[in-house]
Copies of this chain bind each other. A is one copy, B any other.
Amino acid sequence: MAKFMGLAEAIAQNVRDGDTVAMEGFTHLIPFAAGHEIIRQGRKHLTLIRMTPDLIYDQMIGMGCADKLVFSWGGNPGVGSTHRMRDAVENGWPNALALEEHSHAAMANAYEAGAANLPFAVLRGYLGVDLPKVNPKIKSVTCPYTGEVLATVPAHRPDVGIIHAQRADREGNVLIEGITGCQKEVVLASKRTIVTVEEIVDKLNPPSFNSVVLPHWTVGAISHVVGGAHPSYAQGYYKRDNSFYIAWDKISRDRDTFLAWMKDNVLDKTPEAFAAHAKKGSV
């Protein structure tokens, strides 16, 4: 049942050391403000699930929040490497990071199965590739009608699912528009959920009957965080800060530069700092 609260309170109540956490948003609506709050609260030993770790998990991994990463594509989109993730995997800094690696199709299906309350998902995938050799979670079933062997993945059922959305009404119903990624699935698949929103409105006014709306009784904490997806974006509110994604390559290459940036821009800040980004890069 939706409950409005500040982001610090939402994270404190819902994210515990050792939790399995999925923070989704496919390029769009990535919940950066929530990630920063998790870093500030010093959460440790998390298992982080995300199709594309992106900068949000690069930052959390670099700050030592995670023991394990479940993912399908770990780079800085269009730019290059996620250096903090690489440093953890290649050199164990700041700590070793276990990987559970899938394909996008498998990750999307695993969320879908979680939302559908199935223990596993079936896909035509992983043919002729090496990933099943290094990921024992990839198994198979035989079609009871055709005899075809198909790949399977276990459903994702995170302890906590965290998303950013355009807006919520005062009852706590949440609207997502544009590239909706796996967000509906993450919310429905998770035990606890946090939604940060750009705006809280009197009436949700979904643009169509079939808009992506999460009813208030499917979400947990809702926090109003203007600009909370920066440097990702919120369709209709502000654009993706592509120049920051490019700049991150340099910031994150070096451990000290990274730590200095995190201190100035995360540790010494509050969620309110995100509002400035929403203004700067507005549509």
Give chain A's interface residues, CB within 8 Å of chain B: 117-120, 122-124, 137, 139-146, 148, 150, 152, 154, 177-178, 180, 206-212, 235
User: A122 vs B119: C-alpha distance in the bound complex, in angstroms?
Assistant: 10
- Copies of the chain in the assembly: 2
- Can you list 13 residue pairs at the A/B interface with Cβ under 8 Å? A118-B123, A119-B145, A119-B146, A119-B148, A122-B122, A137-B145, A139-B145, A141-B144, A144-B152, A145-B152, A145-B154, A180-B210, A208-B211
B210 near A235 with CB under 8 A, answer no
Partner of A119, one of B117, B143, B152, B211: B143
A180 contacts across to B, CB distance below 8 A: 210
A141 contacts across to B, CB distance below 8 A: 141-142, 144
User: A76 vs B180: C-alpha distance in the bound complex, in angstroms?
Assistant: 37
User: A274 vs B206: C-alpha distance in the bound complex, in angstroms?
Assistant: 32
User: A143 vs B153: C-alpha distance in the bound complex, in angstroms?
Assistant: 10
Evaluate whether A124 and B120 lie within 8 angstroms (CB atoms) in the complex, with A141-B144, A211-B208 already known: no
A143 contacts across to B, CB distance below 8 A: 119-120
A207 contacts across to B, CB distance below 8 A: 207-208
User: A177 vs B209: C-alpha distance in the bound complex, in angstroms?
Assistant: 7
B140 near A144 with CB under 8 A, answer yes
Write the nearest CB–CB distance from A165 to chain B, whole angstroms: 13
A177 — nearest CB in chain B belongs to which residue?
Answer: B209
User: A124 vs B117: C-alpha distance in the bound complex, in angstroms?
Assistant: 8
A141 — nearest CB in chain B belongs to which residue?
Answer: B141
User: A3 vs B220: C-alpha distance in the bound complex, in angstroms?
Assistant: 48
Partner of A178, one of B150, B152, B210: B210
User: A101 vs B43: C-alpha distance in the bound complex, in angstroms?
Assistant: 52
B209 near A210 with CB under 8 A, answer no
A139 contacts across to B, CB distance below 8 A: 144-145
User: A235 vs B120: C-alpha distance in the bound complex, in angstroms?
Assistant: 37
A177 contacts across to B, CB distance below 8 A: 208-210
A212 — nearest CB in chain B belongs to which residue?
Answer: B210
User: A118 vs B177: C-alpha distance in the bound complex, in angstroms?
Assistant: 29
The 9 nearest A-B residue pairs measured at CB: A207-B208, A139-B144, A208-B208, A119-B143, A119-B146, A145-B154, A178-B209, A207-B207, A141-B141
A137 — nearest CB in chain B belongs to which residue?
Answer: B145
Partner of A211, one of B140, B144, B210: B210
